[in-house]
Amino acid sequence: MSKMRFFALQELANRKPVEVTLPSDKLNDYYGIHVFDQQKMQEFLPKEAYKAVQDAIEKGKPISIDTADLIANGMKSWAKQLNVTHYTHWFQPLTDGTAEKHDGFIDFDEDGDVIERFSGKLLIQQEPDASSFPNGGIRNTFEARGYTAWDVSSPAFVVDDTLCIPTIFISYTGEALDYKTPLLKALAAVDKAATAVCQLFDERVKRVHANLGWEQEYFLVDRALYDARPDLCLTGRTLMGHSSAKDQQLDDHYFGSIPARVTAFMKELEIECYKLGIPLKTRHNEVAPNQFELAPIFENVNLANDHNQIVMDLMKRIAEKHKFAVLLHEKPFSSVNGSGKHNNWSLGTDTGVGLLTPGKTPAENLQFVTFMVNILMAVYKNNALLKASVMTAQNAHRLGANEAPPAIISAFLGTQLSQLLDKIENSNSEDGITLDDKKKMQLGIGSIPEVFVDNTDRNRTSPFAFTGNRFEFRAVGSSANCASAMIALNTVVAAQLKEFKAEVDKKINSGIAKEKAIFEVIKEYIKISKPIRFDGNGYSDEWKAEAAKRGLDCETSVPKIYDAYTTPESVKLFTSTGVFSEKELAARNEVKWDTYTKKIQIEARVLGDMIISSVIPVATKYQSILLDSVTKMENVFGRDKALKLSEKTLQTIEQISEHISILETSVEAMVNARKVANKIESEKDKAIAYHDTVLPYFDTIRYHADKLELLVDDEMWPLPKYRELLFIR
Ligand code: ADP
Ligand code: MG
């Protein structure tokens, strides 16, 4: 056996759970101690500075540099209690994960003495040399500067010895180079548009916020086994590996008891999250062996997304302590389930009404139906864009690959809500829809609450499902920054609500009563958006055919899917809502294509290396052992008898030869395809070439490597096998 695999398995046998103790028996004693939250602001900031922060958060008022000095000083005083020595602007560039550059508080005062200083200027804005972050051609090298600027709406927090300030990241010329900037813009757009629509029903509504509750799926693998797999280390997934005789077919992992080592990891992760004010709520096993999920209580989208980014980072670091590697890749193992990150999304008003929660009064219910139908319209009109917002090289292994949601966006409503919309569609507005609380509305609108007594008919195959008081966007990938999906979703809904309001206003101005006007537009929308509604089995081939007939986007090639961002409709959508300029859209697509190419390129290299330097040498060695044995048989039994007795061995030798030969030619052809693709100038065409001409070799190569894994002596096989990777003991 190869040394790596041998030692890894040996280490595994000696693993013990790491002991983790709670900091206190009361959660309240340590919840949020690492966050500069409202309470700490009150304690550490002078009154006027505290008020300035509140005004900035609530009303978007700018903070003066003098006030910023006071805030920075207060933050520093608080952070120093936690032995913090450094600070960083924490931002989310267009890569996997977050970026930070740490600076010490250290400074010299006027007399040359060492002091610790954190100024308002440094809090508010920084100019990191960020020329190596993806920018899609927005910055020329002579303008390589980028700015980070404080996002007041997300609180500063402490990790280890560093104070982290959540920031946006923009270019010298003002274009967004990150996820947070457009996310904040999309949230502002949906706030504005939804508030205007709410005011049709209730003038007291002044703000609408979007909520996000993410469910993070992940795999844990023993660290030593992980280190012995170059594919896991370099690409986050296994590029080969025969499926284990047993994996998820017995469904015995799902909701089963959690192994002790894993519980210890989860416990420590939870403690660290609680200290950071991240309200983790749920933890459980997932469907595949060694697959788990964690989910917090939902929060406003911006904060929830920051928290998800922090959690993904924490997971990796805490896993290390527990001798695990955490796999956030969407498909680390073939033949078992991949990982997603359901994005539970809803809208709520500052008056405490959940806009996707069926109400108690007819007025609330008409509002509920209004939002429901507008969301359906938005998803219908922009289904290609929403798919583009979640599509990556990694997520392509889930979407459309006969698991999780298909690569077609549709919306699931459940029987009762569907029936209600059908009823409205077929009703006559002349039936009267008075919104007098005493007179129940006809058309069943008044009885929606009863409808939701039972919403258990969930459809796990739907990429966008209504689940009682929210939509669950299930197509988001486990390693993704949720912002990508949230930017798209909130923007399409914002634009749709704006259009709706304009149509209703037009009717009202022409003398139609408000309720009737709303009703008429809704009815029209229900008809138009019907093709997006699908409650059947999203995995079936019939659905693929049906979806194409309905005109839904069925493209499966990742690089082509990104085109949805730059269609005339999408450009209008993003520019009219102020979320992206046309230049930003083009640049971000360049980044997406480039990232796609690089991911496939790296995988292709790793795969080629593993075949040439591990698999083929080992298979050849084993083959030669078999040949030796046949020769020795010949010495003992004579040629004819030996050949007869070695019939099976000879077959194996032949099979090994065939597999090796196909592997050699396939790897060579793949390398050549890469060389051709690399010469292509355009990022888009290059990505398409990688998708069309390089990627197809992966399956062939894997197939033959996996066959060899079954033939070659287990003792000699160099890579930890699926049965070892997938079961933690
Ligand atoms: P599931 O049954 O799909 O596993 P859970 O009940 O664990 O879902 O909840 C999933 C997530 O949905 C949690 O983060 C939860 O806080 C969130 N959630 C619940 N209600 C809402 C809502 N109205 N808006 C947004 N997210 C919500
Ligand atoms: Mg869910």
Model pLDDT for residues 332-373, shown as the tens digit of each residue:
999 889 999 999 999 999 999 999 988 777 677 889 999 999
- Give the distance (Å) from ligand 2 centre to CA of residue 295: 9
Minimum mean pLDDT range among 253-262, 476-485, 504-513, 571-580: 253-262
Per the prediction, the chain carries an average pLDDT of 90
Q: Which atom of ligand 1 is nearest to the CA of 354?
A: 23
In sign, the C-alpha dihedral spanning 125, 129, 133, 138 is positive
- Give the distance (Å) from ligand 1 centre to CA of residue 279: 12
Alpha carbon distance 238, 105 (integer Å) = 43
- Give the distance (Å) from ligand 1 centre to CA of residue 449: 19
With the most atoms of ligand 1 within 8 angstroms of its CB, the residue from 215, 469, 490 to mutate is 215
Q: Which atom of ligand 1 is nearest to the CA of 282?
A: 7
What pLDDT is attached to residue 443?
45
- Give the distance (Å) from ligand 2 centre to CA of residue 234: 30
Q: Phi/psi at 419 (nearest 5 deg)?
A: -60, -40
CA trace torsion 654, 655, 659, 665 (10° rounding): 30
What pLDDT is attached to residue 453?
35
What pLDDT is attached to residue 362?
67
3-state secondary structure of 646: coil
- Give the distance (Å) from ligand 1 centre to CA of residue 580: 29
Alpha carbon distance 412, 414 (integer Å) = 6
Task: Find the length of the chain.
Answer: 729
Ligand 1 binding site (Cβ under 6 Å of any ligand atom): 211, 213, 215, 282, 295-298, 344-346, 354, 469-470
Alpha carbon distance 720, 455 (integer Å) = 44
Tokens (6 digits) for 20: 């983790």
Backbone dihedral region for residue 163 (phi beyond 0: left; psi -120 to 50: alpha; all else: beta) = beta
Give the residue among 275, 263, 274, 276 at the shortest CA–CA distance from 220: 263
Question: Any idea which residue has 């927090």 for tokens?
Answer: 157
Q: Which protein residue has the closest C-alpha to ligand 1 atom 4?
A: 215
Tokens (6 digits) for 14: 């000696």
Q: Which protein residue has the closest C-alpha to ligand 1 atom 8?
A: 215
Pairing of strands 114-116, 106-108: antiparallel
Burial profile 421-448: b = 16 or more Cβ within 10 angstroms, e = fewer: beebeebebeeebebeeeeebebbbbeb
- Give the distance (Å) from ligand 2 centre to CA of residue 215: 6
Alpha carbon distance 322, 267 (integer Å) = 11
Pair 288, 725: CB distance under 8 Å:
no
> C-alpha angle with apex 187: 398 to 202, nearest 5 degrees?
120
Q: Which protein residue has the closest C-alpha to ligand 1 atom 2?
A: 467
Q: Express each pLDDT in 19-70 by its tens digit.
A: 999 999 999 999 999 999 999 999 999 999 999 999 998 888 899 999 999 9
3-state secondary structure 277-299: CCCEEEEEECCCCCEEEEEECCE
Give the residue among 242, 439, 324 at the shortest CA–CA distance from 12: 324
Ligand nearest to the CA of 295: 1
Question: Residues within 5 Å of ion ligand 2 by Cβ?
Answer: 215, 342
What pLDDT is attached to residue 438?
37
Ligand nearest to the CA of 308: 1
Q: Express each pLDDT in 515-554 by its tens digit.
A: 889 999 999 999 999 999 998 888 888 898 999 999 999 9
Pair 488, 378: CB distance under 8 Å:
no
With the most atoms of ligand 1 within 8 angstroms of its CB, the residue from 216, 344, 372, 457 to mutate is 344
Rg (CA), the chain: 29
Question: Any idea which residue has 């590029």 for tokens?
Answer: 239
Res. 442: pLDDT tops 60: no
With the most atoms of ligand 1 within 8 angstroms of its CB, the residue from 281, 285, 298, 476 to mutate is 298
Ligand nearest to the CA of 346: 1
Split at pLDDT 50, 70, 90, the class of 446 is: very low
What pLDDT is attached to residue 174?
87
Alpha carbon distance 393, 595 (integer Å) = 8
- Neighbouring-strand partners of residue 108: 114
CA trace torsion 577, 583, 588, 593 (10° rounding): 130
Which of the two residues, 424 and 555, has the higher pLDDT score? 555
Alpha carbon distance 401, 273 (integer Å) = 33
Which of the two residues, 554 and 8, has the higher pLDDT score? 554
- According to DSSP, residue 467 is labeled -
Ligand nearest to the CA of 298: 1
Which of the two residues, 536 and 607, has the higher pLDDT score? 607
Q: Which atom of ligand 1 is nearest to the CA of 345?
A: 25
Res. 266: pLDDT tops 90: yes
- Give the distance (Å) from ligand 2 centre to CA of residue 342: 6
Q: What percent of the chain has pLDDT over 70?
A: 92
- Give the distance (Å) from ligand 1 centre to CA of residue 317: 26
In sign, the C-alpha dihedral spanning 350, 356, 358, 363 is positive
Tokens (6 digits) for 618: 């080992």
Alpha helices (H) along 236-285? 260-275
String of DSSP letters for 506-559: HHHHTT--HHHHHHHHHHHHHHHTGGGB--S-TTSHHHHHHHHHTT------HH
- Give the distance (Å) from ligand 1 centre to CA of residue 214: 7
Which of the two residues, 136 and 302, has the higher pLDDT score? 302
Which of the two residues, 446 and 69, has the higher pLDDT score? 69
- The identity of residue 20, as a single letter, is V
Q: What percent of the chain has pLDDT over 90?
A: 74
Alpha carbon distance 166, 164 (integer Å) = 6
- Give the distance (Å) from ligand 1 centre to CA of residue 210: 13
| Mean pLDDT of the region 466-472 | 92
Q: Which protein residue has the closest C-alpha to ligand 1 atom 24?
A: 346
Burial profile 490-525: b = 16 or more Cβ within 10 angstroms, e = fewer: bbbbbbbbbbbbebbeebeeeebeebbbbbebbbeb
Alpha carbon distance 150, 169 (integer Å) = 9
What pLDDT is attached to residue 436?
38
Split at pLDDT 50, 70, 90, the class of 130 is: low
Pair 371, 450: CB distance under 8 Å:
no
Give the residue among 177, 372, 213 at the shortest CA–CA distance from 294: 213
